[in-house]
Amino acid sequence: MKNYIRHDEWKIIEDGFNPEYNRISESLFSIGNGYMGQRANFEETYTGDTLQGSYVAGIYYPDKTRVGWWKNGYPEYFAKVLNAANWIGIDIEINGSMLDLAVWKVLEFSRELHMQEGFLYRRAVVEDLNGNQVRIESKRICSLADPEIGAIKYTFTPINFDGDITVTLYIDGDVVNEDSNYNEKFWKEVDQFAGNGVGWVVSETKKTGFYVATGMRYEVRQNGEKMNLNAKSETKPKYASNKVSLRVTSGTEYTIYKYAGVVTSEYHGTSDLDKVCENILNRAVEKGFEGLFHDHSAVWRKKWEESDIIIGGDVASQQGIRYNIFQLNQTYTGEDERLNIGPKGFTGEKYGGSTYWDTEAYCLPFYLGTADGHVARNLLIYRYKHLEMAIKNAEKLGFKEGAALYPMVTMNGEECHNEWEITFEEIHRNGAIAYAIYDYIRYTGDAAYLGKYGLEVLIAISRFWSQRVNWSDEKQQYVMLGVTGPNEYENNVNNNWYTNTIAVWTLRYTIESIGKVISENTATWESLRSKLNFKENEIEKWKDICLKMYYPEDKERGIFLQQDGFLDKELIPVRDLLPENVPLNQHWSWDRILRSCYIKQADVLQGLLLFEDNFDTATIKKNFDFYEPLTVHESSLSPSVHAIQASLLGYRQMAYTFYLRTARLDLDDYNNDTQDGCHITSMAGTWMAFTMGFGGMRAKNDMLHFSPFLPDQWESYEFSIRFRDAVLHIGVSKQHIVIRNTSERDIEIMVYDTCVSVASGGESEVAAMHA
């Protein structure tokens, strides 16, 4: 756990240069706009430890699988979001010495992420080996208003010398992915051009054939006045640059405005990408940095109006939740149904940037509650359009008759995860996708989605479950063998309670959904039945499975067993582990972890969260009290689930502790892995921990329900929630709950089991019940 980020309500601040933490900071201070993103690399040369990262959404490479023992059914590749052309490069050479913070003496340094307006700011004073001092300042955006544009305002001021400075502005497409399986470069040269004040590089991905053009234009100003400079242009494969020379004087301020355009064949024709890029660059220059920033910050203001959470009296908590919301809003905007949310977003390469079940289980609720309805809907459409590939994935593993197994990891619907215990066994992911359909319809009231898209997916997933179980003559029940549950510190287990539970829930929900579509639109059902060759006896099989499924439990303890044989383990609570043993995944062998009782993330408790209405509080409490002491929370997804359930059970200090851990997971580097990128999908879990935990928010029976409480560490909190056509602003203090309706329709909600009416534009108040 690190503690070098200064607490601030609206900024992420690094005071002083910490080269040992530079990769962490590059992750933390990343910026993006849903279309592209950029790690917080320095514009100028840096020869210290760094992970260069510029990413473009949806552009990937199928890196050939690398395993020691090939197994039938393995995917042939792992899809990776590529490190794309470096557009931020501005090299500064002073009197023949290249400015480099790894070599020069750093006298002053600060790096700030301004979340309210969405920009990265850096300031430094550096000194070369001859004692020449320079002040540099940079301000960088990836425009939310015009997503194909990035812009930099870079200022340098000689402090104590006159001299010659050479500035090289460049686009470098000759980049690598650090996580390449075979040290392969993933980009092919197409074209490059450099002229006075302009340059671009067009590259093509190997195998997948995506084209990306990255271009630049710039201007240099001296004390605010534009300088007319003749640049020396250079091109080489996948590289274009302009080099300008300046005679500088002490105390004079020189500002470079660099504009980047990033365009892809996903949105434009390949034959004219360079022209499209040029037009975008012209638009950027015409608008200028301040104009671009004005439009960009206006979009951020609107996003904060929709999604901000305000916490009184606890700056650490406030900074944490805003950082999480900031990253979620700049990672996914929901404007393109072909895109999804990688676990690292635009902050790093790990996990390949591909889609996991995290989207449905954690991210969907955030976008349901904070964004226009099409944003969450597009996450579901993404999976619907991958249904054919999910059926093919199942066929590769021997399933038939239209059964679908959605991939654990994907970019295009094809499975590309290559660890057998995950690829073949962590099949609960299918349940998360089914649950997301239910969650979306329940929350939005968009019943038409079921007949148009959702039911087809549900039937295909249910067909998988019905083939994946088998009948046990010994138990006289259906069982599910050889699976991995959400707790990935257990592999190849039999009868994981969560997997069995969500499988049966899916079957029941599918049966119910078929009935609903038949009753509401017979023609829709008949068309779908014919398309899927659906047989009535399928429903009978599903009902039999639901009736006779086996669930492991310990009736004496009153708990559900994570899987068969769990109680054979030596049950030693986490608190009794020696500090030098954690994190386990960095200190123990995999064999030792698998034989232990320790739980990576919520497993049984994940099921009790999703289906809490099916269990009484006493049952949830018994399971929580048993499993939480055995949980090491070495998945970023774990603390949020525990925060919600601790809130439900009245464990308020524990809920706060878990909330702080998930909210500041990356800011404080809890798991010693933020250098690889931030945990974007778990940030949605932070939002859930707040709204569902402290706010007690649930969607039930076409209404929102709230049971808020105020942690002892806070003076108050406020948050906004979208629900169907209504927008509510909830304020919680020690005395009152105040609900403001800022939308154009009246709404009724439940607060502490009391129905509260809030008129359009009106306000209602309820006495707080924090005890």
φ/ψ (deg, to 5) at 302: -65, -40
| 337: nearest Cα among 299, 372, 369, 376 | 376
Task: List CB contacts of 174: < 8 A, sequence separation 6 or more.
Answer: 185, 187, 237, 238, 239
Number of alpha carbons in the 13 Å side-chain half-sphere of residue 147: 18
- Secondary structure letter of residue 19 according to DSSP: G
Task: List CB contacts of 566: < 8 A, sequence separation 6 or more.
Answer: 552, 597
Q: CA 165 → CA 134, 361, 607, distances in Å?
A: 11, 53, 62
Q: 407: which 2 tokens?
A: 């991939």
Q: 194: which 2 tokens?
A: 């450099």
Alpha carbons 331 and 344: distance in angstroms, whole number: 9
Alpha carbons 683 and 341: distance in angstroms, whole number: 12
On the question of a cis peptide bond just before residue 583, with omega within 30 degrees of 0, the verdict is: yes
Alpha carbons 662 and 327: distance in angstroms, whole number: 14
Alpha carbons 402 and 255: distance in angstroms, whole number: 61
Indicate the SS3 state at residue 583: coil
| 368: nearest Cα among 307, 301, 298 | 307
- Secondary structure letter of residue 451 according to DSSP: I
| 710: nearest Cα among 728, 690, 729, 725 | 690
Alpha carbons 521 and 449: distance in angstroms, whole number: 13
206 residue type, one letter: K
Asked about 488 being catalytic, the answer comes back as yes
Q: 187: which 2 tokens?
A: 């980009």
Contact between 706 and 697 (Cβ < 8 Å): yes
What is the CA angle 470-472-474, rounded to 5?
Answer: 175
| 689: nearest Cα among 325, 434, 334 | 325
Alpha carbons 490 and 202: distance in angstroms, whole number: 46
Alpha carbons 222 and 112: distance in angstroms, whole number: 25
Contact between 173 and 222 (Cβ < 8 Å): no
Alpha carbons 280 and 288: distance in angstroms, whole number: 12
Buried b (16+ CB within 10 A) or exposed e, 734-765: eeebbbbbebeeebebbbeeeebebeeeeebe
β-pairing, 747-751 with 703-706? parallel
Check 14, 204, 488, 538 and give the catalytic one.
488
| 151: nearest Cα among 284, 45, 49 | 284
> Which residue in the block uniquely carries the two structure tokens 């307006």?
117
Give Cα 541 to chain centroid, integer Å.
Answer: 38
Alpha carbons 577 and 584: distance in angstroms, whole number: 10
Write out the catalytic residue numbers: 488
